[in-house]
Amino acid sequence: MLWARTSRGVPNGEDVQKLVASGDLLALKDDPREAAQELAFQALEANDGKWAHFLARQAVHVDPSCADARRVLADIDASSHVDRVGRLKKALMDEEERLGAVRAEFAGRLSDAVEARPYLRTRFDLAVALWAAGRRKRGNGHLETLFADDAPDVLGVRYPLLMARLAAGDADGVGLLLDHEDTAQADLIVRWARVLQRVLAGEEAGAEALYRELREGREAETDSLATPPAADFAYPGFFRDDIHLYAALCLSMLHNAWHAHPVAAAWLRDHVVTSTGGPDSRPSP
């Protein structure tokens, strides 16, 4: 954050040496924003909920506008999905105001401005919180904004956005994401998304072929996908660099996308029944 206020890009060894020699680091402990951000990072990395809560509380005491700390507290202290949404909306509004001209200067590549990354993480949390609260159209809107705000996509928004577009039945938007070379990195989940796209488009032969390929060796996974998702959307907590939580979020959104469309859900159930040998094997609704 200190580096980002005066320079852009990734500092090299010489840059760090100059920063140390300048004496600016000595003033770090007296800078509320820097001190709070450091506490927030510790809270985000904490494995113990009580310790994370303590660190986040300390961070907002030092800097009440610290978005990352407020994300932790929204996850721990919120009494309901609606409460969590309200807390995150306020944190996002305050962060937008604090960024000021930075959002315009780095439009389309916000992650290049290090000080904008708490804003990106807060909007991501708000999008998922809105999904958990059943306000999925609004949640989808925040995912779309994030994707437009940051072409490098440092948070990996493209895959949750793909599932959101599938759930909304946005055929054109789904196609744009599926056909983009960067999307192919998550091969398995993208192929499941493409089956759903083909089912919704009425491309029976293509859907059948890809379904058979995907089901082989993954029968339990396929059967699970065919069962209705839980009534309450699984909220993964605040955004952090955890591939397992991220994968679970994408899978949960994929599951919900399949069952957002009665035709697609029935198609998948029927294929599971056929694959397992008869009507007695049909998953319970």
* DSSP assignments along the chain, one per residue: -TGGGT--S---HHHHHHHHHHTGGGGGGG-HHHHHHHHHHHHHH-SSHHHHHHHHHHHHHH-TT-HHHHHHHHHHH-SSHHHHHHHHHHHHHHHHHHHTTHHHHTTTBGGGSGGGHHHHHHHHHHHHHHHHTT-HHHHHHHHHHHHHHBTT-TT-THHHHHHHHHHHT-HHHHHHHHTSGGGGGSHHHHHHHHHHHHHHTT-HHHHHHHHHHHHTT-HHHHHHHHSPPPSS-----S--S-HHHHHHHHHHHHHHHHHTSHHHHHHHHHHHHHHHTSGGGPPP-
Same domain, 55 and 161: no
Q: Phi and psi of 109, rounded to 5°?
A: -145, 50
Please compute the mean of the pLDDT values over residues 2-23 and round it to a whole number.
57
State pLDDT tens for residues 69-88. Answer: 999 999 999 999 999 999 99
Same domain, 100 and 168: no
Question: What are the residues whose beta carbons fall under 8 Å from the beta carbon of 225, sequence distance 6 or more?
Answer: 192, 254, 255, 258, 268
Please compute the mean of the pLDDT values over residues 190-217 and round it to a whole number.
93
Q: What is the pLDDT of residue 194?
A: 94
Structure tokens at 163: 């599932």
Please compute the mean of the pLDDT values over residues 183-206 and round it to a whole number.
90
Same domain, 197 and 93: no
Same domain, 32 and 114: no
Residue 138: pLDDT above 50?
yes
pTM: 0.85
Number of separate domains in the chain: 3
Q: What is the pLDDT of residue 3?
A: 43
Same domain, 109 and 65: no
Confidence of residue 285 (pLDDT cuts 50, 70, 90): very low
The neighbouring-strand residues paired with 109 are 150
Same domain, 164 and 282: yes
Same domain, 98 and 160: no
- Domain residues for the domain of 133 are 80-138
> Does some domain include residue 173?
yes
Same domain, 98 and 189: no
- Which residue is it, tokens 């056929």? 274
Q: Among 140-144, 153-157, 162-166, 179-183, which stretch is predicted with the lowest mean pLDDT?
A: 179-183
Confidence of residue 8 (pLDDT cuts 50, 70, 90): low
Structure tokens at 170: 């946005």
Q: What is the pLDDT of residue 2?
A: 47
Structure tokens at 116: 């904008």
Please compute the mean of the pLDDT values over residues 168-179 and round it to a whole number.
94
Residue 58: pLDDT above 90?
yes
Same domain, 71 and 89: no
* Portion of the chain with pLDDT greater than 70, in percent: 86
Confidence of residue 277 (pLDDT cuts 50, 70, 90): low
> Does some domain include residue 20?
no
Residue 154: pLDDT above 50?
yes
C-alpha span between 139 and 73 (Å, rounded): 20
Maximum separation of any 2 CA atoms in the chain, in Å: 75
